[in-house]
Amino acid sequence: MVTSKNEFKTASQMSNRIKPSFKILLSEIIDYAGLFPPAKLSMDQAVANYASYRKSKYSWMLARFIVPSSRIDEFISNSKDILGQDGNPWSLSVIADETLDVTLKKIRDFNEEFKGIGQFDTLEMKASSVWAIEEASERLGDQLVIYFEIPVDDNLPDLISVISIHRQRAKMRTGGTTHDAFPATEKLLKFIRTCVAANVPFKFTAGLHHPIHCEKPLTYEQNAPIGKMYGFLNVFFASAFARHSLKPSLIQEILEDENPQNFAFTEDGIYWRHEHFVGNWYLKQLREKAAISFGSCSFEEPIQDLKELKLLD
């Protein structure tokens, strides 16, 4: 396919009408984690924010509300009068910070009590061994979608393999509030390529507040440490091109690219550096079967950055 350079809409040229490729790539992409650092909001504020975002013009970018298992009762107290008010049930995900038995009981009780207006359909838990993944997968069966947050080390192929066998999903931590929380690009690349090779859907969490790879404060505190942060456009473009068999060295360059002009959206798909292309059909497949979402403690910050790049109005 040949596309004229005049058809490209980059981060500084996007028209007010959202391109189909942009809508496909970013639909339901942000899992709202306002309870977690660096925002670390109170439950009532996070719930109120999520309810507000669901009514905003950018609600199409919003995915699940993330709740730790240990705070489900607190979530109920702060949300029971809001759930379902807009006519649509809330989609929710639980972070397992208690035993699996306790977590599952809380999920079942909530889903029964709030059926039709709120649903915990996803569980996120840490796992560093094949045994832990197998045990949780066998116990839950198809009751919930499970994202296993796994280490990216020498055991990654084995962990991804067993996740694939049980038809579950993988999760990688891409940042935090300290420099050492951000993985090396080689690890991020390895995670993406291993998941893609095994047809394992995946998500990311932390450190992806900004669209393009950049240097920013790591927290919202005064005099916060400054560090390099991955961009969510970088990560999802890289995932798209990994599925499109672009060579690893170029995918790594995508992950580290700090030039917004290199990320272009057209009617038919996305371009990187105006030469590497992925079409809309493949983007849909990416979002449905591979790169599912990213968790962020802020919904407003990614939106504001996209506005500054003239990708949103």
Q: Is the pLDDT of residue 9 over 80?
A: no
pLDDT at 16: 54
Between residues 148 and 2, the one the model is more confident about: 148
Residue 235 in this model has a pLDDT that exceeds 50 = yes
What mean pLDDT is predicted for residues 85-94?
91
Complete domains list, the chain, with CATH: 5-306 (3.20.20)
The candidate with the shortest Cα–Cα distance to 244, out of 290, 210, 204, 208, is: 290
pLDDT, tens digit, 9 for 90 and up, residues 118-147:
999 999 999 999 999 999 999 987 889 999
**pLDDT band (50, 70, 90) for residue 186:** very high
Phi/psi of residue 272, nearest 5 degrees: -120, 130
Q: Is the pLDDT of residue 12 over 50?
A: no
**Mean per-residue pLDDT over the chain, rounded:** 93
Q: Which of 56-60, 82-86, 123-127, 284-288 has the lowest mean pLDDT?
A: 82-86
The yes-or-no verdict on residue 11 having pLDDT over 90 is no
Question: What is the three-class DSSP state of 92?
Answer: strand
Which is nearest to 308 in space by CA: 10, 11, 9?
11
- Averaged pLDDT, 7-36: 79
> Which of 111-115, 222-226, 229-233, 292-296 has the least mean pLDDT?
222-226
pLDDT above 90 for 229: yes
Tracing tokens 């996803």 back to the chain, one arrives at 122
Nearest to 34 by CA among 49, 19, 21: 49
- pLDDT value of residue 134: 96
Contacts by 19-22 with C-beta closer than 8 Å and gap 24+? 19/265, 19/266, 19/267, 20/267, 20/268, 20/280, 21/265, 21/266, 21/267, 21/268, 21/269, 21/270, 21/280, 21/283, 22/265, 22/311
Which pLDDT band holds residue 221 (cuts at 50, 70, 90)? confident
Instruction: Please state the rounded mean pLDDT for residues 261-281.
Output: 96
pLDDT at 86: 81
Q: Which of 152-156, 212-216, 217-221 has the lowest mean pLDDT?
A: 217-221
Q: What are phi and psi of 259, to 5 degrees?
A: -100, 105
Maximum CA extent, the chain: 57
How far is it, in rounded angstroms, from Cα 254 to Cα 162? 29
Residue 6 has pLDDT above 70, yes or no: no
pTM reported for the whole predicted model: 0.93
- Report the pLDDT value the prediction gives residue 236, as an integer from 0 to 100: 98
d(CA 71, CA 284): 34
Q: Identify the pLDDT of residue 46.
A: 98
Checking if the pLDDT of 48 tops 70, the result is: yes
Quote the Cα angle for 47-65-28, to 5°.
125
CA–CA gap between residue 303 and residue 31 (Å, rounded): 13
The proportion of the chain whose per-residue pLDDT surpasses 90, expressed as a percent, equals 84
